[in-house]
Amino acid sequence: MKSIEVIVPRKLIKKFYKHPEPYGDGAYVVDLINGMYTDIFYREEGGFITITSEKDLITYLKKNQSISKDYFYRDGVYSFRQIKDNDHDLLNSWKTNSPITIQFDVANGHDLPEEFIVCFYWIEVGKIVIDDSNRLTLNIYEKDFISILDISVILDDLMIEKTD
C-alpha cells in the first residue's frame, strides 16, 4: 500500500518525543492512547499529520477525527488555550516536573484569562496564571520542546504592558 497523509488528532496523543532524525522543527515521535506510535509533523492549520502505509493506524486515525481544541490566541507556532476538564491528567503530570518560571506584573485591565495553557507547535508546554494582584506567572514544564529564546518570544507575543 502507498503511504498517505493522515491527520493525527491531538486528543489521541499520549506522549511526545523528539524525533530521532533531523527533519527540522515540528517533527516528533508520539505514543498514541491506544498503544500505537508514529512520527508526526506540525501543521500550521492546527494539529499534526503522519505519513504512513500502516492500515491499522490509518483506520484508527480516520475513525477518531475530531475538532481541534479551541485556541484563543495564535501567532505562528505559539498558541494559548483555555484549560479544559480533560487537561486534568496533563496538569497532574506536570506536578512532578521542575518548571522554568518567569514572573512579572501586568497592567490593570488586561483581557487575558486567569489561567491558560501555552502551546508550542501545538504541544502543551506550560501554563500561565495571573493572580488577583495582576502578577503573571509563566511555568514551562516541557523544557525539551522549547528553548529559552522561544519562551522570550512567547512573552513578547503576550503584548502585555508591564507595570512600573
What pLDDT is attached to residue 68? 64
Regarding whether 150 and 92 lie in a shared domain, the answer is: yes
Regarding whether 148 and 77 lie in a shared domain, the answer is: yes
What pLDDT is attached to residue 23? 67
Most confident of 40-44, 70-74, 132-136, 139-143: 139-143
Q: Whole domain around residue 40: which residue ranges?
A: 4-63
Taking 3-state DSSP, the helix, strand and coil percentages for the chain, each rounded to the nearest 5, stand at 20, 40, 40
User: Would residue 49 count as lying in a domain?
Assistant: yes
| b/e map 18-27, b = 16+ CB within 10 Å | ebeeeeeebb
Regarding whether 136 and 152 lie in a shared domain, the answer is: yes
Strand 78-81's sheet: what is its strand order?
Answer: 71-75, 78-81, 115-120, 123-130, 135-140, 100-105
Regarding whether 90 and 48 lie in a shared domain, the answer is: no
Taking Cα atoms as reference points, which of 130, 129, 62, 118 lies closest to residue 90? 118
Paired with 29 in beta bridges are: 17, 39
User: Would residue 163 count as lying in a domain?
Assistant: no
The answer to whether 7 and 65 have CB atoms below 8 angstroms apart is yes
Regarding whether 80 and 50 lie in a shared domain, the answer is: no
Query: Three cell numbers at 91?
Result: 496538569
| Dihedral angle computed from the Cα positions of residues 68, 71, 73 and 75, in that order, rounded to the nearest 10 degrees | -20
User: Would residue 164 count as lying in a domain?
Assistant: no
Report the percentage of the chain scoring pLDDT > 90: 49
Regarding whether 85 and 44 lie in a shared domain, the answer is: no
Q: How confident is the model at residue 161 (pLDDT cuts 50, 70, 90)?
A: very low
User: Would residue 106 count as lying in a domain?
Assistant: yes
Model pTM? 0.78
Q: Per-residue pLDDT tens for 47-86?
A: 799 999 999 999 999 998 876 667 888 888 889 999 988 8
Mean of pLDDT over the chain: 87
Q: Are strands 13-18 and 27-32 parallel, antiparallel or unpaired?
A: antiparallel
Q: How many Å apart are CA 10 and CA 74, to the nearest integer?
A: 16
Domain total for the chain?
2
Regarding whether 9 and 78 lie in a shared domain, the answer is: no
